[in-house]
């Protein structure tokens, strides 16, 4: 399914973009701190911000510059419960040339944006990368079995839905077959890879070809190349 195949790229690219954004936020804060001046300010108000599922409070801080000008700024970092209270004294970092861009000297006020964006980016990137690596490893396994695997004939059992996977409200199908190992008399159940259409009417044989690793039948690949291809 095309939607499934592009998810890995979308997640990886979104995650990478977020990580790059987090890096630039980190660099920007570092540059700000290099020449920042320090003074004391007072929390004069808490601004409540509402979203669909939460409410946060951002402090408004007033301080006096070295030139004697009174400046107020609203912190970009909010929390619930509030991290500060009205009337509380806080340490302020600012540049004399742009005091309106001042920041509270606190970890979350300075680094919160980079931490949140970096954390989200890491999750997206790792999910996308994991899917990419899984697909590549799975493809490599099939290629190896096609080169060195031992072909056996397994009895066709059924076509089942793979309910553990669901995309756009749909679950794929899988073909199940079984084989009795003549060397051990053990029964092995084989399942094909996911199939995004019902293959029942296209199975006209009682046995399916399965490629197994010579020393480990648990590593296998059900040959479904006889099925028609899905139009792209």
| Structure confidence by residue, pLDDT tens digits, 83-122 | 999 999 999 999 999 999 999 999 999 999 999 999 999 9
Among candidates 100, 200, 223, 199, which has minimal Cα distance to 151? Answer: 223
Strands (E) located in 75-125: 89-94, 103-104
Question: Which of the residues in the chain have pLDDT under 70?
Answer: 1-5, 232
Instruction: State the pLDDT at residue 3.
Output: 59
- For the chain, the straight-line distance linking the first and the last C-alpha, in angstroms and rounded, comes to 9
Q: What is the pLDDT of residue 7?
A: 80
The pair of three-digit structure tokens given for residue 128, joined into one six-digit string: 């996308």
Say what the pLDDT of residue 2 is: 55
d(CA 44, CA 155): 77
Q: Tell me, what's the pLDDT at 8? A: 81
Q: Which secondary structure element, helix H or strand E, spans residue 173, and what is its range?
A: strand 173-180
Q: What is the pTM of this model?
A: 0.67
Strands 173-180 and 187-191: antiparallel
Q: Determine the pLDDT at residue 42.
A: 97
User: What's residue 156's pLDDT?
Assistant: 97
| Residues 7, 8, 12, 15, Cα dihedral to 10° | 50
């Amino acid at each position: 399914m095309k939607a499934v195949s592009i998810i890995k790229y979308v997640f990886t690219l979104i995650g990478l973009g977020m990580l790059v954004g987090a890096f630039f936020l980190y660099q920007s804060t570092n540059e700000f701190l290099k020449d920042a001046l320090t003074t004391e300010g007072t929390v004069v108000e808490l601004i409540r911000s509402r979203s669909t599922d939460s409410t946060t409070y951002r402090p408004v801080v007033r301080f006096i510059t070295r030139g004697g000008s009174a400046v107020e700024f609203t912190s970009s970092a909010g929390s619930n419960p509030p991290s500060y209270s009205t009337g509380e004294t806080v340490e302020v970092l600012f540049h004399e040339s742009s005091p309106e861009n001042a920041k509270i000297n606190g970890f979350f006020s300075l680094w919160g944006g980079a931490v949140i964006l970096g954390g989200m980016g890491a999750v997206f990137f790792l999910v996308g990368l994991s899917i990419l690596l899984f697909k590549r490893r799975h493809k490599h396994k099939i290629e190896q079995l096609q080169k060195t695997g031992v072909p056996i004939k397994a009895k066709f059992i059924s076509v089942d839905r793979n309910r553990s996977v669901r995309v756009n409200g749909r679950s794929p199908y899988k073909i199940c077959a079984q084989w009795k190992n003549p060397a051990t008399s053990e029964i092995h159940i084989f399942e094909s890879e996911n199939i995004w259409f019902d293959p029942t009417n296209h199975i006209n044989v009682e046995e399916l070809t399965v490629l197994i690793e010579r020393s480990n039948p648990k590593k296998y690949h059900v040959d479904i190349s006889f099925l028609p291809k899905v139009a792209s």
